[in-house]
Chains A and B, each alone.
Chain A
Amino acid sequence: MIARKRERPIEPLLWMLFSAGGMASALLFPALVFLFGLAFPLGWLPPTHYEHLRALVLHPLTRLVLFGVCMLSLFHWAHRFKYTLYDGLQVQHLNELINAFCYGGAIVGTMVAGYVLATL
């Protein structure tokens, strides 16, 4: 293992995306899932008035922030889930398939998010 392979420059990038995604989702998602997943459907709080929410959602800053958070969160999932499959299920021999599924999924998801948010 000593100097067997040259440094893989992709690792720091993937970890940075994972880290940023973890931070973004940790800061934003609890409040959002509380409101849109629990409080509004269960009637604990009145849902946001339509016109106000529409204006908020269509605002370019909101769309930009949402795109950033979605992209980073997807890469956070990809990185973490890849290692869960490696370590939890010990399926390292399928690692090309796992990488394709995880990071490929994140890339596709990011493109979908970008398309949806750009064409609202």
Chain B
Amino acid sequence: MAERITMQVSRYRPEIESDAQFQEYEVPCPKDWVVLDGLNYVKDQLDGTLSYRWSCRMGVCGSCGMMVNGEPKLTCATFLADYAPGPVKVEPLRNFPVVRDLIVEIGDFMRKLVAVKPWIVRKEEKPVSQGEYLQTPDELDEYKQYSMCINCMLCYSACPIYGLDPNFIGPAAIALAQRYNLDSRDEGAAERLEVLSQHEGIWGCTFVGECTEVCPKHVDPAGAIQRYKLTATMDWAKSFILPKAGSGKREAGSDA
């Protein structure tokens, strides 16, 4: 009763070939199947040699990002039936080196993530006996959107700047830096500024905006980057008037 759909899946086996090629598989297409279900069907029933990453299958782990018909998508959140009658082209995430089949090398992103210090940085930690750091709902609201990032790297695939220059630190890393810069408990904005203010930091971004369009968690990394450009510029301008002022933390407001 379910239709069938053809999946054209990119294969790359470095031990036998020097370039990627497509292999076609016909899979069932019930209306509740996602692309990941199709891939799992291929691996279980048709071709066990297919290699790909996936984990939670519900859009929170960020493992299953791939190009589906040329668009970066979470394959666990993309319905096969939407592409009927097909074929559906599945390729590894663009702008990353391909290790095998649909698996990409993500070491570059991991190093950049660490470089922006995505943790609460404080000069002095409060001792446990003094209780928790308190935060109002408004203070949470400041950074909550940026905390939704699941490190799926769809934004890196959508970003042409990253594709052209892999040194560019990239959308997710900056959004995550902002998540901590804007957190009221954090005091590390100045440390992150060192990394972010380089040419391949925020200044490489030309606000294409595609990163925000493809983000499955509505993090809006493009917005985070532009806001940070404004913050960094205000800080730089203030440093001429008050040399010690500015930490890259607070944003321009009509009421400081």
Contact = CB atoms under 8 A, between A and B. Distances in A.
Contact of B167 (A1, A11, A90): A1
Interface residues of B, number: 23
B236 A87 contact: no
A8 B199 contact: yes
A86 B167 CA distance: 14
A13 interface: yes
A29 interface: no
Contacts of B100: none
Interface string A1-27: 111110111011101100100000000
Contacts of A87: 160-161, 164, 206
Given A12-B232, A15-B233, A16-B237, A5 B199 contact: yes
Contacts of B164: 86-87, 90
A77 interface: no
Contacts of A90: 164
Interface string A83-104: 1001100101000000000000
Given A7-B194, A7-B197, A12-B233, A1 B160 contact: no
B60 interface: no
Contacts of A19: 233
Given A1-B167, A87-B160, A90-B164, A7 B233 contact: no
A5 B198 contact: yes
B236 A1 contact: no
B45 to A, nearest CB: 43
A75 to B, nearest CB: 14
B169 interface: yes
A92 B161 CA distance: 12
B112 A1 contact: yes
B203 A15 contact: yes
A78 to B, nearest CB: 14
B206 A9 contact: no
Contacts of A8: 197-199, 203
Nearest to B206: A83
Nearest to A9: B236
Given A15-B203, A83-B206, A7 B161 contact: no
A1 B197 contact: no
Contact of A12 (B161, B194, B206, B236): B236
Interface string B203-228: 10010000000000000000000000
Contact of B198 (A4, A13, A16, A92): A4
15 contacts: A1-B195, A1-B198, A1-B200, A2-B111, A2-B195, A4-B198, A5-B198, A5-B199, A7-B194, A7-B198, A8-B197, A11-B203, A12-B197, A16-B237, A86-B164
A-B CB proximity, top 10 nearest: A12-B236, A12-B233, A7-B197, A11-B203, A2-B115, A83-B206, A16-B233, A1-B167, A5-B198, A87-B164
